[in-house]
Amino acid sequence: MPIARIIMGEQNTPEAQEQLLEGHREACRNGFLATSDFSIAVKIGDTSFMIITVYETAEIAEANKDARTKWIAERADLIRDDFYYEGDVATLIKGGGGALVSKYPEKLI
């Protein structure tokens, strides 16, 4: 079952937000998020964002929790507040009804 992690974050400044977003991009390319199937960062305001990351299995998601915790701790001075949610993915489709990622079960489409 695919797992989604959702982070709602408030940053101290717009510059802090950009620094965190660049760090997110790097973590997707070469860091702890490289094992995810995809990760989307959405700027909600000048100092807030939401990140949704999907993993193929709970085991893959669980394997990077320590690295995620360390990554956040190293950037604590940039973060005003964050909320973290995790749950099973119930729907994973593109507009028009096609599969977003083909390796997931048909029941998510």
Q: C-alpha distances in angstroms, 85 versus 92, 95, 108?
A: 17, 25, 20
Cα 80 to the chain's mean position, in Å?
Answer: 18
- The answer to whether the CB of 93 falls within 8 A of the CB of 107 is no
What does the pLDDT average to over 41-48? 97
Comparing 2-6, 19-23, 53-57, 92-96, the range with the smallest average pLDDT is: 92-96
Q: Evaluate if pTM is beyond 0.85.
A: yes
The DSSP H or E segment spanning 59 is helix 58-62
Share of the chain above pLDDT 90, in %: 80
